[in-house]
Amino acid sequence: MTEAENLVATAHSLWRAGKENDMLKYLSDSIKIYRSENNYPKLIEILNEYAGALRINGKYEEALKNIQEALSIQKNNYGIDNISYATTLMNEANIYREKGDYYTAEDIMLESKNIFDSLNDKSYSYVGLLNNLSLVYQAIKKYEKAEELQLEAIDILKQSSNYNVPLAISYNNLYSIQKQLNKFESAFKNLLLAKNLLEKEVGKNHPLYSAVLNNLAEVKLKEKDYLSALELYKEALEVVEKCYGVQSSAYKSVQSNLSYVFDLISTLEIDDNSNRKYERGLDRAEKLAEKVKNLIYIQMPYMRDRICIALAGKGSECLGFDDEISSDHDNQTRCLLLLDDSDFEMYFSQVSDLIHKHISEEVSIQKITDFYSFYTSFPYGPITIEDYKNIPEEYLCSATNGKVFIDNLGKFTSIRNRMLRYYPQDFIYKKLAYHLNNIAQSGQYNYPRLLKRRDVVAMNFALNEFVKHYINVVHILNKKYTPYYKWSFRNLENLDILGDYTISSLNLLFDSNDKEKEKIINDMCIRLVKEMNSRNITKSKIDFLTYQADEITQKISDINLRNEDNWKI
């Protein structure tokens, strides 16, 4: 390899490393050698390359000086009716174009085009000329001419599958022209062609693909299809992140577009309750969760794997029982954003400011440990029987109700799933015995005696106790926590074991006269015994439930718990 060739090779290596400015010296030194050797073909080649590198670095006057030397050498030694001269003219015109002297660039490119046309040359170099002249016409707002040239380039590129990537680029470039001509339908079709070609040739994780997605999103935005635009910008952002990283200008540009559409969707949302059916709080919360998720994914991508968004806790909407009547109090759309302790301490202010700026609905940002501490007194939820003993069951229901919409960290769901597996088995037996005793006392013993005395008020007290404890037993059989008394009957509709039976029996109970109530109570107790027998919880057929309670107590493996009074929890 000669000295000049070594210099050029070094320059190319620097170019591949993105060091365009550093490569200039090596190209300049190689030009001096080729000039001294009168090696005109190589001198013309490197002068073109050097001028292009100077152009990229913004050194336009020096670039023009070198490209004009190349033109002079070509003209004096090879004439002007050749593709090499036409290509060098195009390179000269590009310097003027980037310099902002568009009309000089136009004149020179048209001179180059005349040479290509006279030679009937439709090569890839000619396509390059068409693309560059199209850019000139875009700059001077001659969009019809720009479109004509871009379409000519596309027709040439379509003739060979070897040019699929340049063809995709031309389809994408055509968009910037056609949007100025308000030809959005045609532009969208061309962008889809570009998208399909790039998927086939370079795959989805490529900068060119993200550029097409960005333009597709812009078309959808123009059509006011904001949700489609949002999804396209999200997909483009993921590609740009993989290619350039989150600190790149490309990432920030797409992120800005995505944020704009996100804010636009939030602003334009209309909640016209008078013209539509009531929408449950859980459904509204799920939509809100999607907004919160998208916002954090866009603005705080480093939190993507750390967030949990849910709706759980107090309120009928967490049980799915809210309705039109619920809308008269505390019925705002809301959700929880749950964070690990360390993330909460580090990012709370940033997340809070972000949500306050972009979202009008209520988003409660909490520590996962604070949520579980509030409802169970334990930051990671109860584990042992002693833990469970002191927690009201309605609080356990509140801690595990609702819905988790997203949990990328998994910590909140891990605790939740453990609690949803229900009480330790010994404590299940303990609670079951307690409630069975109270059913027997209130319904099978006290109610008939009070009926004989015609003590109406006390009869209703006994009846209410019977209903409360019966509902609790049905929940235990289903291994579900009983909710707040207001919703305990309603929740029976969600229980597979005796749920429907209990609903119909209790409705019948309250619609019957006092004497009929006594029979219904007995029938309900008999049904409980049959159910427990069928599930091998008890073997005894005796339908007075204190006997069932005693049998169940003997199944408790912990001796101390077994020996406790089974009339108490």
Confirm whether 3-195 and 204-270 share one CATH topology. Answer: yes
Give the chain's length: 569
Tokens of 308: 């949990």
Q: What pLDDT is stored for residue 326 in this prediction? A: 64
User: Dihedral of CA 455/456/461/464: which sign?
Assistant: positive
| Best CA proximity match to 48, nearest among 71, 32, 29 | 71
Exposed, middle or buried by CB within 10 Å (0-12, 13-18, 19+), for 399?
A: buried
- How do 403-407 and 308-311 pair as beta strands? antiparallel
**Residue 131 has which token pair?**
């693309």
Q: In sequence order, what are the residues at sequence separation of 6 or more whose Cβ sits closer than 8 angstroms to the Cβ of residue 389?
A: 427, 569
Q: For residue range 454-482, list pLDDT tens digits in order.
A: 898 999 999 999 999 999 999 999 999 99
Residue 337 · residue 303 · CB < 8 Å: no
Contact yes or no for 310/336 (Cβ under 8 A): yes
3-195 CATH fold: 1.25.40
pLDDT digits (tens, 9 = 90+) for 212-241: 999 999 888 888 888 888 899 999 999 888
Q: pLDDT value at position 272?
A: 38
Q: What is the CA angle 536-540-541, rounded to 5?
A: 110
Closest alpha carbon to 383 in 431, 411, 357, 415? 415
| CB 289, CB 309: distance < 8 Å | yes
The span from the CA of 3 to the CA of 11, in Å, is 12
Task: With 0.85 as the threshold, say if the pTM is over it.
Answer: no
For residue 323, the model assigns a pLDDT of: 73
**What does the alpha-carbon distance between residue 36 and residue 30 come to, in Å, rounded to a whole number?**
10
Q: Is the CATH number 3.40.50 carried by domain 204-270? A: no
pLDDT of residue 381: 97
Confidence at residue 273, expressed as pLDDT on a 0 to 100 scale: 42
**Which ranges of the chain have pLDDT less than 50?**
270-275
Alpha-helical segments (H) within 79-183: 83-99, 102-118, 124-139, 143-157, 164-178
Q: Is there a contact between 502 and 510 (Cβ–Cβ < 8 Å)?
A: no
In 3-state terms, the chain is what percent helix, strand and coil (to 5)? 75, 5, 25
Q: Specify whether the CB–CB gap between 406 and 294 falls below 8 A.
A: no
**Could you tell me the residue ranges of all domains in the chain?**
3-195, 204-270, 279-420, 425-562
Total Cβ atoms within 10 A of residue 271: 9
Asked whether 426 and 385 are in contact (CB, 8 A), the reply is yes
**Distance between CA atoms of residues 507 and 499, nearest Å:** 12
